[in-house]
Amino acid sequence: MIKYVFRRVLLLIPVILGVTFIVFTMLALTPGDPARLVLGESATDEAVAGLRSQMGLDRPFLTRYADYLGDLVLRGDIGKSYVTKRPVAKEILSCLPSTLKLALSSMLVAMAIGIPIGIVSAVKQYSLFDSATMVFALVGISMPVFWFGLLLILLFAVRLRWLPASGYSSLRQMILPAIALGAQSVSVLARMTRSSMLEVVRQDYIATIRAKGQRELVVILDHGLRNALIPIITVLGLQFGGLLGGAVLTESIFSIPGVGRLLVDSIKMRDYPVVQGGVLFIAIAFSLVNLAVDLLYAYVDPRIKSQYK
Which of 68-76, 100-108, 161-169, 197-205 is the region at the interface with other proteins (rule: CB under 8 A)? 161-169
Annotate each residue in 33-52 with x if it binds other proteins (CB under 8 A) or - if it does not, as one string.
Answer: x--xxxxxxxxxxxxx-xx-
Q: Tell whether residue 170 is a contact of other proteins (CB under 8 A).
A: no
> Among 18, 32, 70, 116, which residue interacts with other proteins (rule: CB under 8 A)?
32
Binding-site size for other proteins (CB under 8 A) equals 47
For residue 134, CA distances in Å to 111, 181, 230, 235, 251 come to 16, 19, 21, 17, 28
Whichever of 89 and 198 has its CB closer to other proteins, that residue is 89
Cα–Cα distance for residue pair 203/63, rounded to 1 Å: 60
Q: Tell whether residue 83 is a contact of other proteins (CB under 8 A).
A: yes
Annotate each residue in 243-282 with x if it binds other proteins (CB under 8 A) or - if it does not, as one string.
Answer: ---------xxxx-x---xx--x--xxx------------
Return the CA Rg of the chain: 24
DSSP letters of 187-219? HHHHHHHHHHHHHHHTSHHHHHHHHTT--HHHI
Whichever of 79 and 118 has its CB closer to other proteins, that residue is 79
Q: CA 216, 220, 221: angle at the middle one, nearest 5?
A: 115
Annotate each residue in 89-108 with x if it binds other proteins (CB under 8 A) or - if it does not, as one string.
Answer: --x--xx--x----------
Q: Is 159 left (phi over 0), alpha (psi -120 to 50) or beta?
A: alpha
Q: Tell whether residue 29 is a contact of other proteins (CB under 8 A).
A: no
Residues 6+ apart with CB under 8 A from 13: none
Whichever of 143 and 163 has its CB closer to other proteins, that residue is 163
Contacts (CB under 8 A) with other proteins, residues 185-244: none
Tell me the sheet residues that pair with 80.
87
Q: Tell whether residue 165 is a contact of other proteins (CB under 8 A).
A: yes
Cα–Cα distance for residue pair 109/174, rounded to 1 Å: 11
Q: Determine phi and psi for 87, rounding to 5 degrees.
A: -60, 140
Q: Tell whether residue 172 is a contact of other proteins (CB under 8 A).
A: no
Residues 6+ apart with CB under 8 A from 193: 114, 115, 117, 118, 119, 121, 122, 228, 232
Whichever of 51 and 236 has its CB closer to other proteins, that residue is 51
For residue 305, the SS3 value is helix
Q: Tell whether residue 159 is a contact of other proteins (CB under 8 A).
A: no
> Among 69, 150, 206, 238, which residue interacts with other proteins (rule: CB under 8 A)?
150
Q: Determine how many CB atoms are found less than 10 A away from the CB of residue 188.
A: 19
Whichever of 80 and 191 has its CB closer to other proteins, that residue is 80
Residues that bind other proteins (CB under 8 A): 30-33, 36-48, 50-51, 83-86, 91, 94-95, 98, 150, 153, 157-158, 161, 164-166, 168, 252-255, 257, 261-262, 265, 268-270
